[in-house]
Structure 1
Amino acid sequence: MLNNFGVCLLFLATCLASPIPWPEPSLNDIAALSLARRSVEGGGLAYPSVIQTSDGKWYAFATRTIGSAIHIQAAQSSDFETWTLVVNADGSQYDALPDVPAWVATGPSTTWAPDVVQVADGTFVMYYSALAASSPTHHCIGVATASNVLGPYTPVGGEAMFCPLDQGGAIDASDFVDNVQRYVVYKVDGNSIGHGGACNNAVAPFVSTPIILQPVAADGITFNGAATTLLDNAGASDQGVVEAPALTKSGSTYILFFSSNCFADGHYTLSYATSTSVTGPYARAAKPLLQTGDNGFDSPGGADVAIDGQHVVFHAAYNGGRAMYQAVINVVGGAFSV
């Protein structure tokens, strides 16, 4: 539980123009009081990422919907509240990543969990997870670039950016900038080589699913230092899974959002941990920020935080799929303590 930290988590269905009049609420307290709204009516936007461009517009990128032939879907908004799916001139759904490199396996459901950022020279960089052709039960992380936010994005190089197949592969890349230093944070997908149960890692011995921080150069692609493990699953209490990392910073405190447990069985959570150093150690909050049952959510998780550290998107199970929701975290003052 966070104490002495004035923060408002205002889900946009009930967003207020003035501060919430409760004294020193915690992230958990506000999550229990507020209700998020589904962003795209009828849209299934799982593991979304969000970016705001210099003209003030917002864009979200997400995993393809079940049965769709595209790789990465996109939505756009002028106000972070009303969203529309991006479509082609003929009304068909737009694919932000129309072509994938040879290392990606062919077939449905090959691409997941994109993250889009703009680097210093104006280039837009997309990180994405995809099934590896050489090991089609495991994912690796690729990278693609474009000159405008919607793309289309073109894959960079002939190899994946992160591909530790002997550890289960890698998924869920996300960008973070601390002053001028860029990082990519991602999950080693150890549960893909687990021993069964929910998401294949709920049966002991539990396989490591570490969240890794990799420094990169200004291009967002070139490695620029040694990687660090920030967090790992705690075994049975996490169903052997932590994933979907997203880093932000409030004052001198680093906040690592992540999801734990299996996304498919109602135990998925949107959780967070904090540290005074970007490389950790990170201390988990006493309870998840959101979990099944909070505000009627089913399996909330997969969050991403915009570069401003305030605008957040995440998904939850909805109508047989997963819908995107949005929220605003407004830091009022104070400091984290666990």
Structure 2
Amino acid sequence: MAKPAGDAMATLPSWTEPGLVWAPSVLQTDDDGFVLSYTSLDSRSGLQCVGAARASSPLGPFVDGSDDPFVCQRELGGTIDASPFVDDDGTPYLLFKNDGNCCDITTQLWTQQLSADGMTLVGDAIALLETTEDWEGPLIEGPSMTTLGDSYWLLYSAYDWNSADYSVGLAQCESPVGPCTKRDGPWLANHGDASGPGGAEDFTDADGRRWMLYHAWVTDKIGYETGGERSLFAVPLDLRSGEPVARGLSEDSAD
């Protein structure tokens, strides 16, 4: 069994506050470094924003010596849910969500190119998707991108994370910067004992097999305030007729 290796970023930058750091993701760069993206409270604006810290090992210690967040769309409610993506040519990108649901602003999913070391934003942020469908409710969030077959695929979560209505959507993209077209959704909804799935990310194991990770409520109590619990799930990710499928779940979770 794996053992905790300690605090990956024990020292926080001056712009944020202890106890308010969450949603980590790690990018391995082409110079054998590692960049930790995370969400935290920007004490100056009172909004949630994304920071970036660098280390020479995935175990840390990660260091963020900045005076300001790495990405903070203050005019759009702040920024959360950073997720890295590396294209086949080695170009890194960072996907994120503007946290507009905090302030009655439309939520969108964004992407922006990164420098080779992952510590500098290149060009402008590009909006890929926004809230448009009834099943998405008031927001979309949690973007992650992958390639399967000849296409780029964007996974995202929608609705209220603290409810059984939370679900995963899917969009096909022409490139890491779009344009993206939504598939009818939700792509992954309640199934079996799992309610409100979200936070989908994919990975390839040591044998070259593709998997998708996501979390879901697993008791008859939904929401932390009722004593509910969420667990982490892993399912094989395949292509069927040119479309991504979570093997063994897609038929059961169709809307």
In which range does the TM-score fall when normalised by the shorter chain?
0.7 to 0.9
Q: Which residue of 1 aligns with 2:68?
A: 159
Work out the CA distance in 1 between the residues paired with 2:209 and 2:54.
Answer: 23
Secondary structure of the residue aligned to 2:75 is: helix
Secondary structure of the residue aligned to 1:166 is: helix
Q: Which residue of 2 aligns with 1:323?
A: 231
Work out the CA distance in 2 between the residues paired with 1:249 and 1:272.
Answer: 12
Q: Which residue of 1 aligns with 2:12?
A: 100
Work out the CA distance in 1 between the residues paired with 2:100 and 2:133.
Answer: 12
Q: Which residue of 1 aligns with 2:37?
A: 127
Work out the CA distance in 1 between the residues paired with 2:148 and 2:123.
Answer: 24
**Offset of residue 247 of structure 1:** 0.3
The answer for unaligned runs of 5 or more in structure 1 is 1-82, 89-93, 195-206
Q: Which residue of 2 aligns with 1:296?
A: 193
**What pairs up with 1:1-338 in 2 under 5 angstroms?**
84=2, 86-87=3-4, 94-106=6-18, 108=19, 110-136=20-46, 138-178=47-87, 179-194=89-104, 207-234=105-132, 236-292=134-190, 294-306=191-203, 310-318=210-218, 320-331=228-239, 335-336=242-243
Work out the CA distance in 1 between the residues paired with 2:151 and 2:133.
Answer: 26
Work out the CA distance in 1 between the residues paired with 2:211 and 2:184.
Answer: 23
Secondary structure of the residue aligned to 1:191 is: helix
Contact 2:53/2:63 (8 A) holds in 1: yes
Stretches of 4+ aligned residues off by more than 4 angstroms:
none
Secondary structure of the residue aligned to 2:11 is: coil
Structure 1 residue identity aligned to 2:4:
V
Secondary structure of the residue aligned to 2:124 is: coil
Q: TM-score, normalised by structure 1?
A: 0.64
**Offset of residue 135 of structure 1:** 3.0
**Offset of residue 208 of structure 1:** 1.2
- When residues 324 and 336 of structure 1 are mapped into structure 2, their CA distance, relative to the original with a 3 A threshold, is closer
Q: Deviations over 1:13-34 (max 9, x none)?
A: xxxxxxxxxxxxxxxxxxxxxx
Structure 2 residue identity aligned to 1:97:
M
Work out the CA distance in 2 between the residues paired with 1:260 and 1:172.
Answer: 13
Q: Which residue of 1 aligns with 2:223?
A: none
Secondary structure of the residue aligned to 2:8 is: coil
**Offset of residue 304 of structure 1:** 1.7
Structure 2 residue identity aligned to 1:166:
E
Contact 1:249/1:309 (8 A) holds in 2: no
Structure 2 residue identity aligned to 1:330:
D
**Offset of residue 163 of structure 1:** 0.8
Q: Which residue of 2 aligns with 1:41?
A: none
Structure 2 residue identity aligned to 1:87:
P
Work out the CA distance in 1 between the residues paired with 2:126 and 2:40.
Answer: 23
The answer for unaligned runs of 5 or more in structure 2 is 220-227, 245-255
Q: Which residue of 1 aligns with 2:253?
A: none
Contact 2:94/2:112 (8 A) holds in 1: yes
Q: Tell which deviates more after alignment, 316-325 or 256-265.
A: 316-325
Higher relative contact order (CA 8 A, sep 6+): 1
Compare CA radii of gyration and give the structure with the larger one. Answer: 1
Work out the CA distance in 1 between the residues paired with 2:67 and 2:139.
Answer: 30
Contact 1:250/1:309 (8 A) holds in 2: no
Secondary structure of the residue aligned to 1:226 is: strand
Secondary structure of the residue aligned to 2:66 is: coil
Q: Which residue of 2 aligns with 1:53?
A: none
Work out the CA distance in 2 between the residues paired with 1:260 and 1:272.
Answer: 11
Work out the CA distance in 1 between the residues paired with 2:36 and 2:65.
Answer: 10
**Offset of residue 336 of structure 1:** 4.1
Secondary structure of the residue aligned to 1:289 is: coil
Let me know the Cα RMSD of the aligned residues.
2.2
Work out the CA distance in 1 between the residues paired with 2:84 and 2:198.
Answer: 17
Q: Which residue of 2 aligns with 1:21?
A: none
Structure 1 residue identity aligned to 2:201:
D
Name the count of aligned residue pairs.
Answer: 232
Work out the CA distance in 2 between the residues paired with 1:290 and 1:327.
Answer: 12
Q: Percent identity?
A: 30
